[in-house]
Amino acid sequence: MYTTMIGNYTAKTDFFKMTTPFELLSEYGSPLYVYNEDIFRSRLRQIKNLVKYKNFVPHYSVKANTNISLLKIVKEEGLHVDTMSPGEIYMALAAGFEPKELFYIPNNATEEDLRYAVDRGVLLSVDSISQLQLYAKINPNSKVAIRFNPGVGAGHHQKVVTAGKKTKFGVDMAEFDTVKKILEENNVTLVGINQHIGSLFMDSGAFIESTTNLLEFAKEFDSLEFIDLGGGFGIPYHKQEDQQPLDLVELGSKMDTMFEEFAQDYGREIQFQIEPGRIIACEAGIVLGTVTGTKQNAETTYLGCDIGFNVLARPIMYDSHHDIELYTKRAHPDLEKHPVTVVGNICESGDILAKDRELPMPEYGDIIGLMDAGAYGFAMSSSYNQRPRVAEVLLKSSGEVVLIRRRETFEDLIASML
Ligand SMILES: *Cc1c(COP(=O)(O)O)cnc(C)c1O
């Protein structure tokens, strides 16, 4: 038996099912990424059923979490995937997706990158005039999509706002004439246009606004087969402060209205796509680690653990918040809360998971859980400080616990060096 010292997310969602954080770490080692299949599937289904509009094909954004066992579940649930690199194309094909179920949306691709997709029959979207020229040169008489910048961005941090006037992404809609000219000269048909305004919008305003712009613009092209509205659907990272989820029912019904109106104006029920990654994978994953102790340095109380930014990079990279749970086997833990700064084991002072968080004081051997780590968690991890990358387990709907990535070894650290 164990006690949850703080946090009720795992209790509310029955996250650990038949196992416990203690059993998991003793079996698979610490730290450990843990995914819950029920939650993952339920998010996939929510997104699949987001709208009533028939010709709707959501794409799971592979970069959020690329574990092949999860990709196979995405395939079973009938979503397609969007990919950002040849490596992601490779992974999606290895998971069993057909080339036509992939969409490749590179940024600053090399000729080699573009050829990788073209050779495998994967449709791609270009991101600039020069990339369109490069693509047209290597693959004339073909089809292409173009990522336009709808002039509106959104996101939880400047680094993930991916549209609007100050980002590197998308073709400016004002370059429309140049685009048309290159397409005509090379007999390339524009079959799709896409946008991605940024990551983690919690209110649909900016998304609806940019989509309205994009749809207006789309009417300029008569050859479209699809319009892709991108990802960025947010999740509530602050559940311990009762942050509410994005209202998907409201968003879905607004999208339905826009899709129907567009189909009427355009004269065809064109295909609509979206590319959410985080909203599908994020809440299905938790990263568990071991508490190594606490200490007082001048004014600050530090809680140390073995989850460095090599394991979870989001806090150091974007100042991201992750709710924290603490679990103990001690019979009489003191549950009184104090402001503590939670840090990892990497030799850099920026290795901070949370600043001045109100937490009870754990002791060596207690377990710390960082919530909502299923997206951009393992995918952004590294072996910095020569800490081998950690293992991942899947808690199946049946209750079975399956190791879906083994922990790397010291031998793995050296394996690719000559
Ligand atoms: C990252 C990305 C996504 C997914 O973003 P989420 O925040 O995970 O929804 C979708 N499309 C493109 C082009 C991206 O770069």
- Residue 153 pLDDT: 66
Ligand 1 mutation target, pool 63, 88, 372, most atoms within 8 A of CB: 63
In angstroms, the CA 201 to CA 275 distance is: 13
In angstroms, the CA 344 to CA 304 distance is: 6
> Ligand 1 centroid vs 160 CA: distance in angstroms?
9
Ligand 1 mutation target, pool 60, 61, 80, 102, most atoms within 8 A of CB: 61
**Does the pLDDT of residue 197 top 90, yes or no?**
no
DSSP state of 285: E
Neighbour-count burial of 38, counting CB atoms closer than 10 A to its CB (0-12 exposed, 13-18 middle, 19+ buried): middle
> Ligand 1 centroid vs 385 CA: distance in angstroms?
29
| pTM across the whole model | 0.96
In angstroms, the CA 8 to CA 240 distance is: 8
- Give the model's confidence band at 167: pLDDT under 50 very low, under 70 low, under 90 confident, else very high: confident
- Looking at the chain, the number of H-run helices and the number of E-run strands are 13, 19
Q: What is the mean pLDDT of residues 29-40?
A: 98
Which residue out of 347, 414, 415, 417 is catalytically annotated? 347
The β-bridge partners of 358 are: 339
- Residue 169 pLDDT: 85
Q: Are 232 and 201 in contact (CB under 8 A)?
A: yes
User: Which ligand 1 atom sits closest to the C-alpha of 279?
Assistant: 9
Give the tens place of pLDDT for each residue, 105-156.
999 999 999 999 999 999 999 999 999 999 999 999 999 999 998 776 666 6
- Residue 174 pLDDT: 86
**Does the pLDDT of residue 168 top 90, yes or no?**
no
> Ligand 1 centroid vs 196 CA: distance in angstroms?
7
Q: What is the fold, at CATH topology level, of the domain defined by 3-36+283-414?
A: Lyase, Ornithine Decarboxylase; Chain A, domain 1 (2.40.37)
For the question of residue 347 being annotated catalytic, the response is yes
**Does the pLDDT of residue 234 top 80, yes or no?**
yes
- Residue 203 pLDDT: 87
* CATH code matching the domain that covers 51-275, chosen among 3.20.20.10, 3.40.30.10, 3.30.1490.20, 3.30.70.980: 3.20.20.10
- Residue 251 pLDDT: 96
In angstroms, the CA 247 to CA 245 distance is: 6
Output Rg (C-alpha) for the chain, integer angstroms: 23
Domain-by-domain residue ranges, the chain? 3-36+283-414, 51-275
Average pLDDT over all residues of the chain? 95
- 198 vs 171 pLDDT, higher one: 171
Q: Which residues line ligand 1 (CB under 6 A)?
A: 61, 63-64, 82, 84, 105, 196, 199-200, 230-233, 275-278, 375
